[in-house]
Structure 1
Amino acid sequence: MRKITAGLFTSVDGVVGEPQTWHFPYFCEELGAAVGEQLGSADTILFGRVTYDSFAGAWPAREEAGEQDAQMAKAIGDARKIVVSHSPLEFTWRNSEQLQGGLVEGVRALKAEPGEGAIGLSGSVSVLRQLLAANLVDELHLYVHPVAVRKGIRLFEDADTPIPLTLLSCTAFKSGTVHMVYGPSEGPALENQDPVAAKIENDYQGA
């Protein structure tokens, strides 16, 4: 079974929308290397249409220019790119295709394909939300920037059902950005909860 790794820039207050307006002051070599490892190592990349259009409008030109990020641009260009959309699409960027069928069913089929390469996901918030709800994301990479944006789209919307996660790793960069990697979880092991912590929680809920 292939795994899905998703990456998002986020503020400390959970905003993921329009990162171009607040992300760049915190960019550093450590962050670039982490993003490159998560996305550049994938042989298949899944996109929502808006994110795909943004990538297609930038990365081919970067590859052609042959500058510092040309290697990353070539890796993305060489990868199989699958776009989620309800409308028929036409592509000019190489190795691009449209996801067939419904999102959840189509992604389950992708994960079941032979091979060991990861399926990367960058941005594409609406797609990511649905895959998280369906428990199809194996690694959620959140690059938490030390800024409260205070307005904009957040990854998680209000809903009745929580999505439990487990922390796989946590790395702080010199810029102040924290790279947190989460995986799926069945929820906290309440039977192993510290009794003092449990009493505090019960007292808090009863307050």
Structure 2
Amino acid sequence: MRKITAGLFISLDGVVEAPDQWHFPYFNDEMGAAVGEMLGTADTVLFGRRTYESFAGAWPEREAAGGEDAGFAKTLGDQRKIVASSRKLEFTWRNSEQLEGDLVEAVTALKNGPGGDIALSGSISVVRQLLAAGLLDELHLLVHPLAVRKGMRLFDEGDTAIPLRLTSSQAFRTGVLHLVYAPAERADEADYDDAKPHLPQEDQR
């Protein structure tokens, strides 16, 4: 079964929208390595339409320009790119195709099919749906030490909680935290009486 990994730049107050407007001051070699690990090791990248259009509007030109980011641009170009959209799309970036049918059903088929890892970058609506469906194996959050205070948050309103467990954490020199989460079983019911024994106890000496 293929592993599906999503990576997101996120602020301290949970904003994931338009990270190009606030995250670049924190981008260093540590973050570059984390991004490369998330995207560069997959053979398929899954996108929402808006994120795909942002990538397709930048990375082919960077590959053609042959600058210091051309190697990563070529890696993205060579990967299979699948775009989830309700609109009929036309593609100019190589190895791009549109996801057919229901998102959850189609991604479940991809996950159970042949191939290497599947990565997502951004694509908030897709990440939300895959999280709710239990299809994400890893959620990488690059938590920036600032409150953006406006914009779309990662988690929207809903009736069902999504339990996660922390599998690794790393603090970058910039103060960014790289947190990796995996799905978790729902926690048992508990109340204050269950928590009370874990409060600091008065020293009886």
TM-score (normalizing by structure 1): 0.91
Determine the structure 2 residue equivalent to 1:157. Answer: 156
- The aligned residue for residue 85 of structure 2 is 85
Counterpart position of 1:205: none
Structure 2 counterparts to residues 7-26 of structure 1, below 5 A: 7-26=7-26
User: Distance between the aligned counterparts of 1:90 and 1:201, measured in 2?
Assistant: 58
Local SS of the residue matching 2:139: strand
Structure 1 regions of 5+ residues with no counterpart?
Answer: 203-207
Percentage identity across paired residues of the two chains: 66
1:198 aligns with 2:195: yes
Give me the whole-angstrom Cα distance separating, in 1, the residues matched to 2:34 and 2:181.
Answer: 14
Map Cα deviations across residues 173-207 of structure 1 (whole Å, 9 max, x no partner): 0011000000001123679xxx99622699xxxxx
Q: Which runs of 4+ in 1 moved over 3 A?
A: 188-191
Within 1, Cα distance between the matches of 2:197 and 2:163? 21
- Supply the distance in 2 between the matched residues of 1:181 and 1:19 (Cα, whole angstroms): 19
Instruction: Output the CA distance in 1 between the equivalents of 2:82 and 2:128.
Output: 17
Counterpart of 2:130 in structure 1 is 131
Residue type of the partner of 1:135? Answer: G
- 1:54 paired residue number: 54
CA deviation profile, 1:3-59 (whole Å, cap 9, x unmatched): 100000000110000111110111111001100111111100000000000000000
Where 1:89 maps in the other structure, the secondary structure is coil
Which amino acid in structure 1 is aligned with residue 156 of structure 2? Answer: E
Alpha-carbon distance between aligned partners in 2 of 1:102 and 1:200, rounded to the nearest angstrom: 48
Instruction: State the SS of the aligned residue for 1:130.
Output: helix
Residue identity matched to 1:121: L
Equivalenced residue count is: 198
Residues 189 and 170 of structure 1, relative CA distance in 2, 3 Å threshold: farther
User: 1:134–1:201: structure 2 CA closer, same or farther, 3 Å change rule?
Assistant: farther
Aligned to 2:4: 4
Match of 1:174 in 2: 173
What runs of 5+ residues in structure 2 fail to find an aligned partner? 200-205
Following the alignment from structure 1 to structure 2, what is the Cα–Cα distance between the partners of residues 139 and 65?
33
Distance 1:62 1:187, change over 3 A: same
SS at match of 1:75: helix
Find the counterpart in structure 1 of residue 203 from structure 2: none
TM-score with structure 2 length normalisation?
Answer: 0.92
- Rounded to whole Å, the distance in 1 between the matches of 2:110 and 2:24 is 33
